[in-house]
Chains A and B, each alone.
Chain A
Amino acid sequence: MKLLLFAVAITSALAQNRYTPPKTPWGDPDLQGTWPGNMGVPMQRRPDLGTRTELNDQEFAQQQEQARRNAAADAESTAASDTRVGIGPPSYWTERGKPTRQSSLIVDPPNGRLPGLTAREEQLRKQARDGRGFPGEWRGEANAPDDLNIYYRCITRGLLGSMIPVVYNNGNQIIQAPGYVAIRNEMIHETRVIPLDGRPHVGNAIRSYMGDSRGHWEGNTLVIETTNLTDKDAIGSNGAGYPGDPGHHSAELKVIERLTRVDAETMNYEATVVDPATWVKPWTMLIVLKKDPHYQLLEYACHEGNYALGDILSGARADEAAAKK
């Protein structure tokens, strides 16, 4: 048994550890830098691609063609005459990302699809769909601030949402000090300062959206285990669980992240989601991060400039008043 585990360790080492990253002056692997997320890889794989983790030439060419069309649309200085008026930002605000061959963020199960839900979770989701939704979801009502989702309310995208690329401000930055790794996420503005000294997690009653993270090195890979999370957010690009996202999770969620530099410019970010109350087995996603020394994280003062929430609520009240007349 031990021998088998040993063989597995070597195989995965050969696959991952071809590159030896530089070291910090105190001897830890140096992961520091700015690693913005890249848009465009779907969370779940198209079922017809089966276990294929990469797009073929033809599928990739289609992706590139779509990217060209998006770029052309973004470059338009005036809207077409038939454009519907909306309140969203103009399309050129959106970070489109660079097309890649990766067929899905989820890499395990091997079909790139989420594993099944537990019976308990099926029941919870049905109740939520038929009722007011989960805390943090938006079911279309605007009677009070907590009818809106946690993203609209500028609370957080939580862990894992803070690592998943979404429309814009996808900056991630790593700063290290002896005994610590700090991971900054530009949107909505998070910094996890992760101790590496093997200390135990905080007490069970201390729960938070970003959780309680502990890190250690396995070779040149930073392994982070996070617990003490809440069930008030969802796993998805905005922490609120839009359709197609993994969505709601329980407070027993444990996230194991593995950060490995695979060449001078590339870091594999893998996150394994362990939540037996929600999914029948753990699943893993892979986000490939490219170092970008020119990317500058900006201060994302979301709540401070959140005019939308007040406008949505006061607009709903104005609609009600108008309907009464």
Chain B
Amino acid sequence: MIYGSATFAAAGFILLSVASAQQGQAPQGKGRGAQAGGRGAAAVSSARFVDGHPNLNGVWEALNTANWNLQDHPAYAGPMWETGAIGAVPAGQGVVEGNEIPYLPAALEKKKKNFENRRTDDPEAKCYMGGIPRSNYLPYPFQIVQSPVGILFVYEYASSNRLVNMGKPVEAGSDTWLGTNNGHWEGDTLVIDVTGLNGLAWFDRAGNFASDNVHVVERWSRADKDHLNYEATIEDPKTFSRPWKIDMPVYRRVEKNAQLLEFKCVEFAEELLYGKYKKK
């Protein structure tokens, strides 16, 4: 039986070899591989994935000021005068429903302190992972790799990534930056329940934050072929008096050659983090 299938496979390969020999030693990437890629490219922009659910595959990026400040804000100076207008913050309309983040009094004090110390304390300045929800609206593209076995989010920023489990929900183990991600479909919306977050990531450069008690529920849906709707409900009774919600569109990077590049930022943060320990 083993020999039977081996013979069959070998026969299949001989046919293939003949085909590629006839193409006159076509360079790699042509022939069968290109065909598969071609089918893939078509499937990427179609509205439905092979399993009938909405197709979220693609390179995406938010286009707003949420990473500077989730809430409505006028333009203001950045934390470093040295960078002049380059480091300034553009005015922006917030992404928080009702614009209010319902901090408990002590948490509001901490948020203000975070804002004052944002140049050195913002985890983004230190090249720490973005956490959830912030990774989705950092000013870098991310790619969704949707497979029947799970949905992978790959972020250009700091090479961070998370695999959303679409099977039987799993319980969070130890806390992490991007959390434990259990997904399911509610109609045409991908709902991701994120637990086990370590609470070390901020939500923006304005110092908005939560504790390690935070629970985030994300909702992803296709608005049209080049836009996703993204919503996240944030719940943390240690930090907020009630759950609150952000929502925003996310845009497809429609450039023909759109792809993630590498943003490994450790080297850019070493002077900030370790400069004080350098030999004088």
Contacts of B145 in A (CB 8 A): 175-177, 180, 182, 193
**Residues of chain A in range 184-238 having any CB-CB distance to chain B below 8 Å:** 184, 188-191, 193, 195-199, 202, 206, 208-210, 214-219, 223, 225
Interface hub of B13, B24, B28, B154 (most chain A Cβ within 10 A): B13
Contacts of B20 in A (CB 8 A): 9
Among A179, A193, A223, A320, point to the contact of B40 (Cβ < 8 A): A179
Q: How close is A308's CB to chain B, nearest CB, in angstroms?
A: 11
- Cβ of B5 under 8 Å from chain A: yes
Say whether, besides A18-B9, A304-B128, A178 and B39 are in contact (CB < 8 Å): yes
Q: Could you say which interface size class chain B belongs to?
A: 35 or more
**Residues of chain A in range 275-325 having any CB-CB distance to chain B below 8 Å:** 297-299, 301, 303-304, 309-310, 313-314, 316-317, 320
Q: How close is B196's CB to chain A, nearest CB, in angstroms?
A: 10
Q: Could you say which interface size class chain A belongs to?
A: 35 or more
Among A18, A191, A196, A214, point to the contact of B161 (Cβ < 8 A): A191
A190–B155 Cα distance when bound, in Å, is 10
Contacts of B279 in A (CB 8 A): 143-144, 316-317, 320
Q: Are B152 and A175 in contact (CB under 8 A)?
A: yes
Q: Are B10 and A216 in contact (CB under 8 A)?
A: no
A81–B161 Cα distance when bound, in Å, is 43
Q: Are B264 and A155 in contact (CB under 8 A)?
A: yes
Q: Are B32 and A184 in contact (CB under 8 A)?
A: no
Q: Are A175 and B150 in contact (CB under 8 A)?
A: yes
Contacts of B260 in A (CB 8 A): 193
Say whether, besides A191-B161, A209-B262, A180 and B40 are in contact (CB < 8 Å): yes
Q: Are A206 and B128 in contact (CB under 8 A)?
A: no
- Cβ of A104 under 8 Å from chain B: no
A180–B44 Cα distance when bound, in Å, is 10
Interface-facing stretch out of B79-87, B96-104, B221-229, B267-275: B267-275
Q: How close is B220's CB to chain A, nearest CB, in angstroms?
A: 15
- Cβ of A55 under 8 Å from chain B: no
A9–B22 Cα distance when bound, in Å, is 13
- Cβ of A10 under 8 Å from chain B: yes
Q: Are B9 and A179 in contact (CB under 8 A)?
A: no
Q: List 10 A-B contacts (CB under 8 A).
A: A2-B25, A18-B9, A144-B274, A173-B163, A178-B57, A182-B152, A209-B262, A216-B37, A223-B28, A304-B128
Q: A6-B17, A10-B17, A179-B41 are in contact. List 15 more A-B contacts (CB 8 A).
A: A28-B40, A143-B279, A144-B274, A146-B267, A155-B266, A176-B145, A178-B41, A180-B40, A191-B159, A196-B40, A198-B33, A199-B257, A216-B33, A216-B37, A316-B277
B-side interface residues toward A, CB under 8 Å?
5-6, 8-10, 12-14, 16-17, 20-21, 24-25, 28-30, 32-34, 36-44, 50-51, 57, 127-129, 143, 145-150, 152, 154, 158-163, 173, 176-178, 200, 257, 259-262, 264, 266-267, 270-271, 273-274, 277-279
A-side interface residues toward B, CB under 8 Å?
2, 5-6, 9-10, 13-14, 17-20, 24-28, 32, 143-146, 153-156, 173, 175-180, 182, 184, 188-191, 193, 195-199, 202, 206, 208-210, 214-219, 223, 225, 297-299, 301, 303-304, 309-310, 313-314, 316-317, 320
